[in-house]
A and B are shown apart, each in its own frame.
Chain A
């Protein structure tokens, strides 16, 4: 039995460290505080996760108010996994940020940068652990507002317009979520998610519930860059500072997918979401279009960061297809891909961050001969790229394999073509970069200029993880299975 106060600390530590960072001038000191806080959040998440693995659920009530009345934090295996993933990747990316950020951002602005970073982390962790629908909205906005600020720190002035565009679309999404939560509250008189689920009228067609679901799906869809609502994503990830791009690509959209899972399965229940409402059809269609079209668009990008931002939209498509298969196998594949893709995409964006640090540009042309000038960086990129394509022995292969199986279980053979085609398209765009880096020589021979170890180390940790989870699937597959069972188990 562990103290449930740990759950509280996980979120409040970054929340309290943020104002302290605001008061400190030195960027280095702020980084140190942020690092200590993130690593303790990570260890707390690990303790909570191991507890949840054995005992099921951990709850924490605020202010001595018991669950349906007060705000409570509630962690089961699903959000335990997401919290662990988010805090782990944040810790690794933060190691990268120290060198990368002091290169990209002026020293006097660094304390505000780390304040926003900590607030964003607090928001993301808050979303994952809370069991209260309105509290979830508040944390969602904390993390979103902080991420708009983080993106606006980009050096290019287009970072400002990207952040603005994200702000407008993100706020519309958040307001839709607010409407959805309001309708649920109007119908049930409670905000606790488990309690809402218990009070939602079952078995009768309820138009308010249908409207609430529609608003929530569109709202969360905007936040997670579901295919036609993804327009903010490419620019935001391209022009944000390198560390921020990796941080958001690996965590923010994953947390948004968790929110979707939570609402669809815990609050509305499997039957309502997929049998009464045609969400399965919508998700599968949007997912297929996302995989094909976003991968195709990625091929024609000149900016490599932008290329992989589009690839993120495609990868989200896979997760949504898994959801749309509306089976336990599909859900497992979805959660598994969410987990694996976070490591892969984090690794790719960090490798690109190394490139940006040394070469000053991530345009495709600037990468000519980069394979010789920065052998370690480009090797990391190559390996993460292989994992993204889904070559056997990599994490990307495992999650695609499970998606295969889930599709075959449903006899949807067409889906196999889509998945293979998506992989082939990703092979093309990864190849474009590899070809530029290894087969072209730069115009004039330049000496080796490898990125410093402080950047390479976190990059390689993520790349290593994306292979490790391809070989040792006990943790990822086992937990994804259990998480899918838990989610489906919420439905009556």
Chain B
């Protein structure tokens, strides 16, 4: 599809907007609708659109399978790590109050980190699924 000029131009304009919107949903999720799941999927839409138009190989030069695997694991471990941090600080699992002397600040920090972990994992998983399906022919 990369021969189609309209698609190429539109994609180049849209992808930064999509990524920016993903960050908005991610970090505004503390105060309004949003959060890691939604933001992760929106973020993944950017690279997936890029891959659809410019080809999976070029997408893979940024998102290699190894780096995606690391991202998937890192997001999950961030989530679990926050949980264990609260346990070590003397609370229950994911009891964000422990993260700061001020419980409200602790709640903010906790939900931010946890949602970030969720967002990273979801985005990486969605891109991995896309590459796994679309890159299958090249694979063989």
Question: Which A residues form the contact surface with B (CB < 8 A)?
Answer: 5, 8, 12, 15-16, 18-20, 22-23, 60-64
B96 touching A16, Cβ below 8 Å: no
Partner of A62, one of B69, B72, B77, B92: B92
Query: Assuming A5-B87, A8-B87, A60-B92, what are 8 further A-B pairs, CB within 8 angstroms?
Result: A12-B84, A16-B77, A18-B76, A22-B69, A22-B72, A61-B92, A63-B94, A64-B92
Measured between beta carbons, the chain A residues less than 8 angstroms from B70 are: 23
A22 touching B97, Cβ below 8 Å: no
A16 touching B93, Cβ below 8 Å: no
Measured between beta carbons, the chain B residues less than 8 angstroms from A23 are: 69-70, 73
Residue of A nearest to B74 (CB): A19
8 Å CB contacts to A: which residues of B77-104? 77, 80, 83-84, 87, 91-97
Q: How far is the CA of A5 from the CA of B77 in the complex (A)?
A: 19
Q: How far is the CA of A419 from the CA of B91 in the complex (A)?
A: 52
Measured between beta carbons, the chain A residues less than 8 angstroms from B96 are: 63
Partner of B95, one of A12, A19, A22, A63: A63
Residue of A nearest to B81 (CB): A16
Q: How far is the CA of A61 from the CA of B86 in the complex (A)?
A: 13
Question: Smallest CB–CB gap between A119 and chain B, Å?
Answer: 11
A12 touching B69, Cβ below 8 Å: no
- Of B69, B72, B73, most buried by chain A (CB within 10 Å of CB) is B73
Measured between beta carbons, the chain B residues less than 8 angstroms from A60 are: 92-93
Question: Smallest CB–CB gap between B66 and chain A, Å?
Answer: 9
Q: How far is the CA of A450 from the CA of B69 in the complex (A)?
A: 40
- Of A18, A19, A62, most buried by chain B (CB within 10 Å of CB) is A19
A64 touching B91, Cβ below 8 Å: yes
Q: How far is the CA of A16 from the CA of B75 in the complex (A)?
A: 11
- Of B70, B76, B92, B95, most buried by chain A (CB within 10 Å of CB) is B92
- Of A8, A18, A60, A64, most buried by chain B (CB within 10 Å of CB) is A64
Partner of B77, one of A19, A61, A64: A19
B93 touching A8, Cβ below 8 Å: yes
A64 touching B97, Cβ below 8 Å: yes
Please list 25 pairs of residues, one from A and one from B, whose beta carbons are closer than 8 Å in the complex, sorted by A's number.
Answer: A5-B87, A5-B93, A8-B93, A12-B83, A15-B80, A16-B76, A16-B80, A19-B72, A19-B73, A19-B77, A20-B73, A20-B77, A22-B69, A22-B73, A23-B73, A60-B92, A60-B93, A61-B92, A62-B92, A62-B93, A63-B92, A63-B93, A63-B94, A64-B91, A64-B97
